[in-house]
Amino acid sequence: MISLIEKYFGFVLILFLVLAVIWPGPGTKMQSLLPVILVIILTLTFLKVDILQVVKQASKPGLMVYIAAVFMIILPVLVFLLFYRFDYTLAIGLMLLACVPPGVASPAFTDIFGGNTTLSLSVAIILYFIAPLSIPLLFYYTISSSIQLDLLSLAKLLLILIALPVALSQVIKYFCAAYIDRSIRYLSGINIILIASLGYIGFAPHSHIIQSDFSLFLYIVFWLFLMFLMFFVVGVLMMWRSNRGNKIAVSVSKTYMNNALAIVIASQYFDSHIVLITVLSSIPWNFTPGILKKLTMRFVK
């Protein structure tokens, strides 16, 4: 069963989104579980992290500062500036997706694409520790004059959502190392179900938007697909002087962001339209890997 879930993970995630449209009631009542589910997802992810590898990669500060600046500041601001004049809500939603760290599956995708998984994992972990500072500051300098946000509360939420899973994972690894080694192969499948559940709960209260305005749904999905493609191309160009493995690692890490974290932030601090944008990001997130892998094999050298 776990292997089938991993093989057809895209179908599983889309199925849960459809379920949110046709049966939103239970998800609407479970909003308080969103942060809890995200903590569990990140804890399971960090169980597979080799801290020594991350420390080794972090010993190249120039590369990490460069990647962090582009991922967490330059690209989100660029996305916001591209859209804010003709669709302010879309600009905020896309910027939110652009400024969160890489997704928990980005190292796995990097491996599938034939990239440097150590670099991908290191980028993801380091950016998780930067996010509690960078995301509130980004929103402060871009939208604080038009939208009232409790930025201190946002920073505290991000700190808890990231620091708590790291601490829990290290405690579990220390006391249950043997059990983890035996069960490690099940973690990806469990995470897929949890991510799908998070998407269902996050989207359920806002699913009526699709039913009442299908053109809005198509409009958002169109721009999301373009943004994913843009991120993939930018990631390759960022590392144009590096080897193929590093190009793929950086490109995949940026393209497949942690939209689960974006959904939680949107659900806590923004209106239903921005939540809709973050939830619908699951569509290109799940449909583009096959396409981009083929493009990578053909064009990334």
Domains of the chain, earliest start first = 2-299 (1.20.1530.20)
Averaged pLDDT, groups of 10, the chain, 301 residues long: 70 82 89 86 77 64 90 96 92 96 79 81 86 91 76 84 85 82 76 82 79 86 95 92 90 91 88 88 81 82 78
Q: What are phi and psi of 257, to 5 degrees?
A: -75, 170
Closest CA relative to residue 111, chosen from 299, 261, 301, 296: 296
The whole-model pTM stands at 0.81
At residue 93, the pLDDT reads: 96
Q: What's the pLDDT score for residue 71?
A: 95
List, as one string, the DSSP characters of the chain: -HHHHHHTHHHHHHHHHHHHHH--HHHHTTGGGHHHHHHHHHHHHHTT--HHHHHHHHT-HHHHHHHHHIIIIIHHHHHHHHHTTT-HHHHHHHHHHHHSPBPTTHHHHHHHHT--HHHHHHHHHHHHHHHHHHHHHHHHHHTTTTS---HHHHHHHHHHHHHHHHHHHHHHHHH-HHHHHHHGGGHHHHHHHHHHHHHHHHHGGGTHHHHH-HHHHHHHHHHHHHHHHHHHHHHHHHTTTS-HHHHHHHHHHHHSB-HHHHHHHHHHHS-HHHHHHHHHTHHHHHHHHHHHHHHHHHH--
* Distance, CA of 152 to CA of 174 (rounded, Å): 33
Taking a C-beta distance cutoff of 8 angstroms, is the pair 1, 224 a contact?
A: no
Q: Rounded to an integer, what distance in angstroms lies between the CA atom of residue 173 and that of residue 42? A: 14
| pLDDT (tens digit per residue) in 164-185 | 888 888 888 888 877 777 777 7
In this predicted structure, what is the pLDDT of residue 252? 92
Q: In terms of C-beta density within 10 A (0-12 exposed, 13-18 middle, 19 or more buried), how is residue 259 classed?
A: buried
Q: Are 198 and 17 in contact (CB under 8 A)?
A: no
Q: What's the pLDDT score for residue 102?
A: 92
pLDDT for position 227: 96
